[in-house]
Amino acid sequence: MFIIARSFLLVGLLFSISGNAVAQKNWKEIISVEDLCESYPETMKNMFDDFNLNYQGLERVKTAFNSGNIVDACHYLLAYYKDCNTAQHLRKEQPAKTDNTLASADTVLNDVFVIQNVRGQVPYRDDGHRDWYYKGPNNDREWAWLSNRHSQINSVLTTYFKTGNPEYAKYIDLFLRDFIIASMPYPAVKSRTSVWRGLEVSFRAKVWSRIFYGLINSEYLSPSTQLLILSSLPDHAHYNRHFHGGNNWLTMEISALATIATDFPEYKESNEWLEFSIATMTESMKDQVYPDGVQTELTSHYHNVSLYNFELFKIICDNANKTLPEFFNRTIEDMYSYLAHAMRPDGYRILNNDGDRGSDRDIVISAAKKFNQPEWEYIATNGKSGTEPLHGPSYFYPWAGQLISRSGYDANAHWSFFDIGPWGSGHQHNDKLHISISAYGRDLLVDAGRFAYTGDVAQKFRPYARGSAGHNVILIDSKCQDAGPTHAKEPLDISHFKITDDFDYASDSFDRFMDLDGEVKHIRSVFYVRGEFWVVVDRIITDRPRKIDALWHWHPACLVEKDNVTVKTNNREGNLAVIPVSQQKFDIRFIQGQEEPEIQGWYSPEYNIFEPNIASYYSTNISENSTIVWLLLPSGKKIPEIGAEIISENDSEVKIKVRSKQHNWQLNIPYTDSRDAKLAKH
């Protein structure tokens, strides 16, 4: 009795071939059906056990298989796939043969892969197989995981159809034959190995479907490789069906299960896979997306990942004539709406938690046309096309706890992101009450980014990326924030925020600091006077004297200088000044690119990309409850002269006067109750 992935088979009942324990050719020489059946007879026999041989069109396959002629059964199966109507959307006309090349694809042909901005050449083992566990030059297991998603051969497939050069198709054939044979046997257990982890399994399944049908009529995808794909896809489906994760992982893995089910309905379990996928994905969407359209990880990057896979799942179901609940379609639209309204004026998304500062502009413009939302197009094009939104330009997301403030929709508009939401369901940073600011086409105050998850870069920078010290928050007695609640149980009520024509207001508090003696609460209120400036009020409620460090992290491209107690940029265009208004005595210092005694002053806009930036520290000591007030003044050119003072303060609010050459403003800024937030302009 032989143990295979999902069942026990008695050997010898139907076949005279006894299994895979026969003399095998070198894997590179396994080209034909006969080669494969001779070298891996048990694999081929098990493959047919995964098929519904009563499926219309597989009659000859069934007859040959039942008579013990596995070679003919394989030939008939490949002939069926060439001629059937399955997956018509993936089938392509083969390009005319040329010797044209594309440099980026040629590097892949030399087994040089660029994974998350790191280039590495995959070595070969003594048996001739690539080392599918190679972790790249930085010894990063993420590099190994992502290289096993096979996006590199997906790009080579695109290049083949663009150029018609057979070398690209031949590489795909050899690459897949190498991988599938080297990855056998399927372990059928939840795994975090480089080859059998859920995300990699899900990505491969989608890529392989495109390759199988795209090259079904190509002479360059060998019969053995086609059969190996067909033999391995049920294992991929089994993994995603039984060992899938949650959150954005689930969307990727279940969309892959649905991909296999609909692209290969001939498998016995395809119907069950699809029904399970629909039920699971629908329920996951309810759990994974807040009613305001924001994915619960509260990371803009993974919001996009989930959105892409939800929409992919909808396309899969549409192609299979499976109707999804109306809320599924509505939630996809809500998720796009969030992207449109949260993006910076330059089209880039929020950099928060484990995210990258990528552009959402093209995504939103495409979605605006798809969903007939000209207001999204207006935002994404800085008003060049579309329809100006009826509401805005600032927006608050009460479940996510995010205030997006803007002065308008033009390219030079002010923009800020203020985080008063929960910790997040995954990929969290300890950064509640963080604020990021952009203005005049430039990032000014920034989040540190994510750096890397594993490997040498992560070992060095990961605690900084996740910790409070990489964010624009306050440290209490040098202590960082601890984790908070992962989910919002209800939306923030109107006491937390107010948006008017003239100003935005939001506030919340945090009281969990790591290893901190005694009790302390930090309340932060942000008051944005539209088109003019921000005022940030930090209220510290404490049971004893404390050391306070207020951190402001600047984009690396900013020229930062100190003028008395003001820290400001001296850029050619797009500037910001951080001006203390309250009367505390501050020790002000700049930290840039520091590695010892702790990491500080580093910025990572994308995974594995990082550079030094300036972190300006305002340090002071307080003996009792205290209020610290900051004026954040943006300017297109040189920072103008401005005056600011506290008129009065008490246990519930502070009143501020701000004076410029043209105007006087009086701000009433409550610590916790938006109803008392007021603005008067003279």
Assign residue 251 the CATH number of its domain: 1.50.10.100
How many structural domains comprise the chain?
4
Residues 208 and 105 in one domain: yes
Domain enclosing residue 445, as ranges: 392-681
Per-residue model confidence as pLDDT tens digits over 340-379: 999 999 999 999 999 999 999 999 999 999 999 999 999 9
For residue 480, the number of C-alpha atoms closer than 13 Å in the C-beta half-sphere is 17
pLDDT band at 10 (very low <50, low <70, confident <90, very high): very low
238 found inside a domain: no
Q: Which tokens sit at 557?
A: 């491209």
458 and 565 belong to one structural domain: yes
Q: What single string gives the DSSP state of each residue in 261-325?
A: HHH-TTBTTHHHHHHHHHHHHHHHHHHHB-TTS-BTT--HHHHHHHHHHHHHHHHHHHHTTPPPP
- Please report, for residues 194, 254, 311, 377, 479, the alpha-carbon distance to residue 244 in angstroms, rounded to integers and kept in the order given: 16, 7, 19, 36, 37
Of the three residues 356, 391, 426, the one that is the final residue of a domain is 391
Q: Are residues 80 and 104 in the same domain?
A: no
pTM: 0.89
362 within 8 A of 377, measured Cβ to Cβ: no
Q: What number of residues does the chain have? A: 682
Residues 593 and 496 in one domain: yes
Q: Is residue 174 part of a domain?
A: yes
Least confident of 1-5, 146-150, 430-434, 570-574: 1-5
Q: Give me the CATH number covering residue 619.
A: 2.70.98.70
Same domain for 372 and 499? no
Q: Is residue 225 part of a domain?
A: no
Same domain, 471 and 565: yes
Q: What pLDDT is attached to residue 197?
A: 96
Pair 25, 152 in one domain: no
Q: What is the pLDDT of residue 24?
A: 64
Say whether both 288 and 194 belong to one domain: no
Please report whether residue 7 resides in a domain: yes
Indicate the residue among 54, 84, 114 that finishes a domain. 84
Indicate if 488 and 404 belong to the same structural domain. Answer: yes
> Going by C-beta distance under 8 Å and a sequence separation of 6 or more, which residues neighbour residue 303?
294, 295, 297, 335, 338, 339
In a domain, 226, yes or no: no
Span 245-279, pLDDT tens digits: 988 999 999 999 999 999 999 999 999 999 999 99
Q: Are residues 312 and 258 in the same domain?
A: yes
Residue pair 625/541 in contact by the 8 Å Cβ criterion: yes
* pLDDT recorded at residue 25: 80
Helix (H, G, I), strand (E, B) or coil at 481: strand
Q: Is residue 147 part of a domain?
A: yes
Residues 79 and 101 in one domain: no
Answer yes or no: do 98 and 137 share one domain: yes
Indicate the pLDDT class of residue 20, thresholds 50, 70 and 90.
Answer: low
Of 356, 375, 391, the one marking the end of a domain is 391
Q: Tokens 């109707």, residue?
A: 323
Give me the mean pLDDT over the 487-509 stretch: 98
- Residue 543 domain-assigned (yes or no): yes
Q: What is the pLDDT of residue 417?
A: 98
Residue 306 placed within a domain: yes
